[in-house]
Structure 1
Amino acid sequence: MKINNLLEKIGVFAFVLLFAFQSCSSGSDSGEGTPVNPPPSNLSVQIEVTGKTADKPEGDGSGKIHLTITASNATSYKVLLDGQLKELTTGDLTYIFTASGTKTYPIIVSAYNAAGQFVSSTTSITINVSRKLLWSDEFDADGAPNTSKWGYNTGTGDGWGNNELEYYTTRPENVIISNGTLKIKAIKEEYMGSHYTSTRMLTKGKFSFKYGRAEVRAKLPVGGGTWPAFWMLGDNIDTVGWPLCGEVDILESVGNNPNVNHSSLHSPGRSGNTPDTAITTVPNSATEFHVYAADWTAESIKFYVDDKLFYTYANSSTTPFNQNFFLILNLAMGGNFGGTVDPNFTSAIFEVDYVRVYN
């Protein structure tokens, strides 16, 4: 009886060993030695550019492409393009580039099998993207600014970090649209403990964008101590604070040094008296409208006045300038940058014809 039990146990043990051996063998090879998960091969990437013709080899300006990817033994794909990683279960991908202009983009495609083995291929595409208007305010409806586009910062903000002197309000005395332009008016008056009033309006929570062209057509105020600005802050300011959120100053001018535009960037370790700044002369800036603009990409931020480039900042993945930013228009008084207010100052107007944002 004991011998029979021993034989039975030996038989069971042998069966288990045989099953384990066969299982291990079948995990990598069939009986004929063919791998169960052969590596992917024969990777092919076909790119169709929408609207491509002999006259328009970079496409019709829509920026749209379609990728058809095939590979033997592949079960999934990954595509890296335009700084984005796309993971696919099929070999079809439609993508739209948004940065305006004609640019060449590298495209890296990898095909994977079920075991995680892969094969990769690198190619590139040159494509044209026509400039498109993403957002604008033409200020063509008399009255208060459009509340679907603009909100406000109000109060003194403890000098808004710059020892400024104004109290920001939403009153029509300080902000109004009339005759096709927005008028932000700084007034010398006693109001809520401050000696001046003005307005600071912003698109936070209503509109923001990542990369593109932001521009304002404006006529600047007159008077020592005035400090008009058109600028941007990162959407994440409430969570990371300033300057971690990043700041892009497109238009800054001071009445104590008229007809000069300052464009600057503020970021960690390069805030306050930032080294990332440049100036340009803008003749008749208080009597004529001029266009102040920034073209923003992952590689650079270029600053213009009347389409004349005067400063290029080298952007990179290490800066905060690769996220959504919102817009700000304001007219400050005094402060660290605005300087001493002329004792004869009574009021001044920052007049804006339009604000536009393009892709």
Structure 2
Amino acid sequence: MRTSLNYPSEKIGLPPGTLVHVGEVHEADTQISLIDYSKEVVEELQIDSIEEILKYKNNSTTTWVIVEGLATVDVVETIGREFDVHPLVLEDILNTHQRPKFEEYDDYLYIVLDGLLPESTSENEQFLVIYEQVSILVFSNFVFTFKEKKDELFNPVLKRIKASKGRIRSLGTDYLTYAILDAIVDQNFILIDALDDVVTYIEDALLTSDPTKEILNKIQHLKRDIIHIRKSISPVRELMSGLLRSESTLINQSTHLYFRDVSDHAIRVLESIETYRDILSGLLDIYISSISNKMNEVMKVLTVFASIFIPLTFLAGIYGMNFQYMPELALKWAYPAIWVVFITIPVVLLIYFRRKKWL
């Protein structure tokens, strides 16, 4: 059975190792690129069939195959058959809801993690995160990367390979794997910068103007985005720890230093995410406090008006009663006197409230 499903729940009941694409289809057609290089030469070409890859199988050069778009399940199945990849690994490659992880096999390594790309518009200070699962198969002289769509995520690595004859061209697939992981993890720093801009915008809007429901919605949406970002980034620490503990012959001891650098970057990104989560919690508290203060101001004004008009209403109620014998009604100065009382009470109360700084 070879098809494409939208949600993992639709895969329930299928036998283990059944190759189906689970997730959103970003690319209708699968595109395959191949970069074969050594210290002296670099060859880059587009691949139309898996058979074109096989001729590089026994070369001493390093071959990097980039598969963009996972809707064509046959491509992944053929690669798995030709390179003897376990069906459960192929199943994980096609399931785009995987948790970042590292798995070690006899002849290859399997790594999966999320590439996070920010998409923000400064006009409305919106913050959107584009998630893309990246799977990596590492062999002795081959590296396969499987991406959901065609984008510029690997452009920095490709430029290094084409422009440099240094370390990346001299070392093997383990160093290429480091360069790929480094590009994915360092992309998160761009995400952090975009997140910082949006958080700063919300903070300024909250502190310089009255709190609005729009600001509350932005805070809530951003908190939800940070939860998803943390869910994607947090397991990378465990992934890198697994790589550093690995005793596979595919990873040279000298490459561990570079993997530690990627691990440090992942920790820095995660710490920044935790910081922004705390900041947003503080902004939410400020929003609630601002609403409470605004309500208190309204209640204060209402209290002042009530304090002024309650005694006036009391007096008006008394002299508005239709009793025949009310001595004050017969007095010549009764009407002016009551107006003096009506004016004196508010003035005295206003002076009192001013001294108490209620007004």
Q: TM-score, normalised by structure 1?
A: 0.22
Under a length normalisation based on structure 2, what TM-score does the superposition of the two structures give?
A: 0.22
User: Higher relative contact order at CA 8 Å, sep ≥6: structure 1 or structure 2?
Assistant: 1
Structure having the larger proportion of residues in strand: 1
Which structure has more helix as a fraction of its residues?
Answer: 2
